[in-house]
Homo-oligomer: A and B are copies of this chain.
Amino acid sequence: MAIPRRHPALPDPGTRCRVALLGFGTVGTAVARILCEQPPAGVELTHIFNRGVSRKRVDWVPAGVRWTEDIGDVLDSPADIVVELMGGIEPAGGWVERALDAGKSVVTANKQLIAHRGASLLSLARERRCHLRFEGSVAGGIPIIAALRDGLAGDRISRVLGILNGTCNYILTSMADGGTAFGTALQQAQELGYAEADPTDDIEGYDARAKLAILCAAALRADVQPEQIATRAITVIEAVDFAHARQLGCTIRQVSHAEWDGQGGLHATVRPTLVYRESALARVAGSQNIVVLRGQYGGETVFSGSGAGGGPTSVAVVSDIAAIARLESERSEAAALRAPTHVRGEFVTPQYLRFVVRDRPGIIARIAGAMEQHGINIDAVLQLPYPTKQALPFVVTTEACPPSVLAEAMRQISELDFHVQPPVDLPMLIGDAA
């Protein structure tokens, strides 16, 4: 019998698996707590690294754990698993690389790092025969990476839909429920700790598109950089859009959406989207997350839970540590990633167009004429009672059309002289169960 492969970086059965923690913020503290209170079998916390570490010390960590602000103390230690919870691409990325290069396994919740450099880090890990796991980097409390690697490996996933950013979902659901304006909803979210002081990454969609890029790799086996994903901020949404959406049986969510186009290209977008109020996406309230997968054989499977926060994310991280400690192999004989021929956002869907105009006769006719020229069929025109004719909002919905064709028509319409503010167009995700 041939001598089997093994992971040289992993301890022999029966010995302890030593864990070093990089970063002692919210998630790092929560991870340390679990590792101290109920560690997975065989797992031992040995190092905690943080800048200004003397301010960070807590009394519930055993005396044997080494606190340090020198990364060399960790990288040169005999730690078996390095847990990176600092965030940001550098210096975290370089340190993860050095750890893997030294044959240490790495667990991280760093979405930007995995989204941008996951493929090369995974191949370094394979080469060095150690592990890289990142369950905490997407939808913290939802074990979506485990589900994809293990429970759904037998299927071919054709579509990923998700609400991946709790801050945007909190803002949009409070706008929907309370008729709150965007600015007010954002401010409330900041006061309650659901949004950062600088919320740019969240509301611009940069956070969600990094997570979608990771799901593109894990679910669709597609090699995509976050910057390739068409992304639109939720700042365009106003209270009046929720009122109109309600008339259409819909609400508005920041939806992350990716699918192969059947010809080697990939459609991928993160944008505010109309979804039916009865849909799984609409029912995700507050800062929750959801992932909806469509499989060729298994149909739709829905996962929802806490998107972020110390508790849920720390469970993901500790589960990864436990899995590595169980010597599970992930040097994948799984299919390699495919690079799409291109990545676009051309999902053909019905569209919601919101205009704010100085009212006068003939406006609908002008808009309808432009639509007709571009072969776009109008489905409905909606106008709610409104006190003034000087800035009158109304909505046009269209039958399914390609966004690029719509963009042409909207460019032409924008040049007309009755607009009080630029028109807003949103896709309507109403063709299916999700």
Q: Could you tell me the distance in whole angstroms from the C-beta of A294 to the nearest C-beta in chain B?
A: 10
Check if B283 sits within 8 Å of A316, measured CB to CB. no
Check if A38 sits within 8 Å of B152, measured CB to CB. no
Check if A4 sits within 8 Å of B6, measured CB to CB. yes
The tally of residues in A whose CB lies under 8 Å from a CB in B reads 66
Which of B299, B300, B301, B311 is A297 in contact with, Cβ under 8 Å?
Answer: B311
Contact indicator per residue, chain A 309-326, by CB within 8 Å of chain B (1) or not (0):
001101111111111011
A41 within 8 A of B: yes
CB closest residue in chain B, given A299:
B306
Check if A42 sits within 8 Å of B333, measured CB to CB. yes
Q: Could you tell me the distance in whole angstroms from the C-beta of A187 to the nearest C-beta in chain B?
A: 26
A110 within 8 A of B: no
Q: Could you tell me the distance in whole angstroms from the C-beta of A56 to the nearest C-beta in chain B?
A: 21
CA distance in complex: A301, B154 (Å): 23
Which of B143, B150, B297 is A152 in contact with, Cβ under 8 Å?
Answer: B143
Complex contacts, A321 vs chain B, CB 8 Å: 154
A155 within 8 A of B: yes
A183 within 8 A of B: no
Listed from nearest, the 9 A-B pairs whose CB atoms lie closest are A143-B151, A154-B318, A146-B151, A301-B305, A146-B150, A154-B319, A298-B315, A4-B6, A41-B333
A: residues with CB less than 8 A from B are: 1-6, 8, 12-13, 30, 34, 38, 40-42, 135, 141-147, 149-156, 280, 283, 295, 297-306, 311-312, 314-323, 325-330, 332-335
Contacts beyond the supplied A153-B319, A154-B319: 10 A-B pairs with Cβ under 8 Å: A30-B297, A40-B154, A41-B334, A141-B295, A146-B146, A153-B323, A154-B321, A302-B304, A326-B334, A329-B329
